[in-house]
Amino acid sequence: MRNYIAFIHKDPDSDFTVTFPDFPGCLTAGGTLDEARVMAQEALPFHVEGLLEDGDSLPDSMTLEEALLADPANRGAVAILVEVPAEEPMIRVNISAPKGALARIDRYAASHGMSRSAFLIQSARQIMQRGA
């Protein structure tokens, strides 16, 4: 896994916008700070997946200092780290689940700073590690 910096910016008349200094073409947004954080954790791995599928290599991640110096607008933003797989490309799958269960999963995941996908993968790994 690799960590990359994301900056969450807020303009008075817009949602929270997320930019990734190591991936200039990748951005996302959310209506709240928490939603923007969750969207960042989904957007960057998806972007990286496309790069890896195209045979591109991932850039080295900037340090926080390098990212702040690269764009003065980043100095007023909230910085977070987003983890992405370095070697293994991600694939999209469809599952069927009761609507209420998905709503509970989404609430739990969001309250713990995760996307639905991250929560389901983490939960599955924990169960498999226990040998269940």
8-state DSSP, 27: E
**Rounded Cα gap, residues 113 and 122, in angstroms:** 12
pLDDT, average across residues 19-29: 92
Mean pLDDT of the chain: 85
The pLDDT value recorded for residue 20 is 94
The tokens for 117 are 């996908």
Q: Note the pTM of the prediction, 2 decimals.
A: 0.64
Q: Where are the alpha helices (DSSP H) in the chain?
A: 33-53, 64-70, 99-111, 116-130
Q: How many residues does the chain have?
A: 132
Give the model confidence (pLDDT) of 47-104 as tens digits: 888 787 777 888 889 999 999 888 888 888 999 999 886 655 567 788 999 999 999 9
The pLDDT value recorded for residue 89 is 59
The tokens for 45 are 């791995």
Instruction: Name the strands in the sheet holding 16-19, side by side, starting at the edge strand that comes first in the sequence.
Output: 27-30, 16-19, 2-10, 78-84
- 36 residue type, one letter: A
